[in-house]
Amino acid sequence: MTTKKEIYSLMKLIEVYFEQFKITQEKLDCWHLVLSKYSYEKLHGNLMVFVVHSPHPPKISDFGSDYIGKGTQYPG
């Protein structure tokens, strides 16, 4: 289970990597609702792969179960 604080931490990383990504309370609440069932380690690992391969910020669907822990290579 990922806490809301951990989701916020991931969103802060996204904000650093992608200047156009903005954090709002509504976005944090919604992301937490969907992503809390995954471990922080899997979400963080998936984000690290994503940022290397994408010029655009991730959407919540980029963290879905089809991607997490499978070493998905994202198109650049």
Question: What pLDDT, on a 0 to 100 scale, did the predictor assign at position 10?
Answer: 97
Question: What pLDDT, on a 0 to 100 scale, did the predictor assign at position 63?
Answer: 80
The DSSP code for 60 is G
Query: Which residues, given as ranges, of the chain have pLDDT below 70?
Result: 64-76
Question: What pLDDT, on a 0 to 100 scale, did the predictor assign at position 68?
Answer: 44
The DSSP code for 41 is H
Write b or e for each residue in 23-54: b if 16 or more Cβ atoms lie within 10 A of its Cβ, otherwise e: eeeeeeeebbeebeebebebbeebbebbbeee
- Which single residue is written with the structure tokens 């992301």? 31
pTM for the full predicted model:
0.82
All domains of the chain, ordered by start, with CATH? 4-63 (1.10.8.200)
